Amino acid sequence: MAKEVEGVSEQPEYSAKDYHDPPPAAFFDLDELTKWSFYRALIAEFVATLLFLYIKVLTVIGYKHQTDPDAGGADCGGVGILGIAWAFGGMIFILVYCTAGISGGHINPAVTFGLFLARKVSLPRAFFYMVAQCLGAICGVGLVKAFQRSYYHRYEGGANMVAPGYTKGVGLSAEIIGTFVLVYTVFSATDPKRNARDSHVPVLAPLPIGFAVFMVHLATIPITGTGINPARSFGAAVIYGADKAWDDQWIFWVGPFVGAAIAALYHQYILRAGAIKALGSFRSNV
């Protein structure tokens, strides 16, 4: 409140900045390895990625079976590409909502890589998150194979591969752009500046992230089956084991990591003016 001192009205002080950016994460923080919260986060990432791959691959195999004419299916049977995209986007919404308060809800090495580049997580945390995500993906696809053994190999195990008629360059471009959309949405949905300025509009971060996954799947399922998640592609390739899945595997690592890096740089250094702030800080110290 304003108060008067010797007849002079003292005006209240307002901060020029109505939000606070969290401090950058340490590049190499070994203290994390001694905390239970770190291992709890790893378990959350492992379980979330396991559940994501289980639902995702089961949905793909179920759709292929329902549309397989040799199995009595019809072209219009099953959930269709729209249903597959909804299943993936909806599952990401659920899992991010459930794990965001524990691990941040990454469930994707590309997301983890983008957040690492933006100094949101340390190098040890990023590395172990990726390991947990890949192990969870392998276990999730392994469960699908155990429960659906008769259909698993028949329908290619839900593995990501560049579809016939498309070049590897097209597949790589689709993965780069698709991952850019996802990681850019992650940064925007969790931006502290947005939370402060748009506080009158309740923003549930997992919702736009899930919608981003949904939209990208609609666009890229016909091209690559939609990776945008190296753990998803790696887990399916490990359990399926076919040469074609491994021949294209590099696309589903290089593409998402490049897309995530571009999204991180775009958000941090252009939209959030990180480069201009760094330049201004440099000039003030000269």
Residue in 251, 238, 14, 286 with CA at minimum distance from that of residue 110: 251
Q: How many residues does the chain have?
A: 286
Distance CA 93, CA 87 (A): 10
Give domain status of residue 285, yes or no: no
Question: Residue 281 pLDDT more than 50?
Answer: no
**For residue 17, how far is the Cα from the chain centroid?**
29
Domain total of the chain: 1
69 is in which domain, residue-wise? 32-270
Distance CA 253, CA 236 (A): 13
Q: Please name every residue paired with 8 in a beta bridge, in sequence order, or none if there are none.
A: 5
Query: What residues contact 71, with CB distance under 8 A and at least 6 apart?
Result: 65
Give domain status of residue 200, yes or no: yes
Q: Which pLDDT does position 198 carry in this prediction?
A: 56
Tens digit of pLDDT for each residue in 14-38?
Answer: 444 555 667 777 788 888 888 999 9
Tens digit of pLDDT for each residue in 170-194?
Answer: 999 999 999 999 999 999 988 877 6
**For residue 280, how far is the Cα from the chain centroid?**
32
Tens digit of pLDDT for each residue in 101-115?
Answer: 999 999 999 999 999
Give domain status of residue 7, yes or no: no
CB atoms within 10 A of CB 273: 12
Across residues 192-200, what is the average pLDDT? 59
Q: Which pLDDT does position 76 carry in this prediction?
A: 67
Looking up residue 170, the CATH number of its domain turns out to be 1.20.1080.10
Give domain status of residue 52, yes or no: yes
For the chain, what percent of residues have pLDDT higher than 70? 80
Give domain status of residue 238, yes or no: yes
Q: Which pLDDT does position 205 carry in this prediction?
A: 84
Residue in 84, 102, 85 with CA at minimum distance from that of residue 48: 102
Tens digit of pLDDT for each residue in 112-168?
Answer: 999 999 999 999 999 999 999 999 999 999 999 998 888 888 888 889 999 999 999
Distance CA 231, CA 84 (A): 18
Give domain status of residue 174, yes or no: yes
Tens digit of pLDDT for each residue in 201-241?
Answer: 445 789 999 999 999 999 999 999 999 999 999 999 999 98
Q: Which pLDDT does position 13 carry in this prediction?
A: 47
Question: Residue 72 pLDDT more than 80?
Answer: no
Give domain status of residue 218, yes or no: yes
